[in-house]
Structure 1
Amino acid sequence: MEFKKLTSTEPFDVATYVKMYYELYKGHELRLYLGCDSQNKLNTTYATTLVFNVAATGCHVIYRKEVVPLISDMWTRLWGEAERSVDTALYLREHGIEIDTIDLDYNVDPKYKSNKVVTAAVGYVESLGFKARIKPDLLPAAYAADHIVG
């Protein structure tokens, strides 16, 4: 599964990169955040991100961006975000890297449209052994994806 750095257009295998990053920061407190966001314009664009946080030193972001034909149905588009996050987490798991939590860019508050996906997406994520975080929690990977997808 190919990802890129924000500072380069050269793709690389995400599992290989994560293992290298863990080795580089061995002995440090390292947290990994995974999430996805999407946006509709002429097409639908998805950005899946992994955010590395090393203690209090800041964050490093890698991403995968996909452009697909326009998905006008909101539920289907938002479900695609959960699927891409889970696909990435499962790919990493297959390569010996365990993701604890997936950031889902959906809101627990029913006044937001994304709330319609919360129950199904959280159930899907948790049925595979991952924890799901949703708004109003702080979601570093979803926020990073939001900036990349735009």
Structure 2
Amino acid sequence: MHNKTKQWRKLTGERITTYIEEELLDVIRRERQLGSQLKVCIGTDSQVKGADTEFATAIVFIRKGRGGFMYLNNETTREKMSIRQRMMVEVARSIEVAYALSGVFNTHQVDMEVHVDINTDPMYKSNDALREAIGYITGMGFAFKAKPEAFASSCCANKVVQ
């Protein structure tokens, strides 16, 4: 992912003009100098708007006991998808980001989780994709959280696609 094709920004709207890896490396160093213990949660949510489906991916940094901050990326597609397919595209987008950034996080011993906007309650349609998503994420070696604990996708990314 060491390219600028994904346009990342802060929650404030400030665009990241460097590679996201470089930005996050600077952030980790700065936060460590301030004494912060960090954890990262990566999640994607989507919203169908007419013929378009908008995806938002969030990289959420949690400062233990001191709040947090996030980076966001939005992309839109016109591809028609079933709910299950859309859930798996969300998972794939999160894994793509997690995989690309895992070297930075591993090197600096920052714990990372992948959050999925899939309901654990079988009453919901998104649940059809849960087992496949769990297998995909854990197969890639990542920790995961699903609803209701998956705030990076269910809350943070969700706010950007509404």
TM-score by length of structure 1 reads 0.91
| Aligned equivalent of 1:55 | 64
Count of residue pairs the alignment pairs up: 148
* Preserved CA contact (<8 Å) 2:105 2:112: no
Query: What residue is the counterpart of 1:131 in the other structure?
Result: 143
Q: Is the 8 A contact 1:46 1:81 kept in 2?
A: yes
Question: What are the ranges of 5 or more consecutive residues in structure 2 without an aligned counterpart?
Answer: none
Moved over 6 A (4+): none
Is 1:80–2:89 an aligned residue pair? Answer: yes
Aligned equivalents of 2:20, 2:152: Cα separation in 1: 15
1:5 corresponds to which of 4, 7, 10: 10
Alignment correspondent of 2:29: 23
Aligned equivalents of 1:97, 1:57: Cα separation in 2: 19
Give the distance between the partners of 1:146 and 1:96, measured in 2 at CA: 25
1:140 corresponds to 2:151: yes
Report Cα offsets for 1:70-126 as digits up to 9, x if no partner: 434111111110000000011112x43246310111111100111000000110000
Instruction: State the TM-score, normalizing by the size of structure 2.
Output: 0.84
Q: Name which of 32, 39, 50 aligns with 2:47.
A: 39
CA RMSD of superposed structures (Å): 1.6
1:4, 1:55 → 2: CA distance? 23
Unpaired runs of 5+ residues, structure 1, are: none
The 8 Å contact of residues 86 and 125 in structure 1, kept in 2 or not, is answered as yes
Q: Secondary structure at the match of 1:71?
A: coil
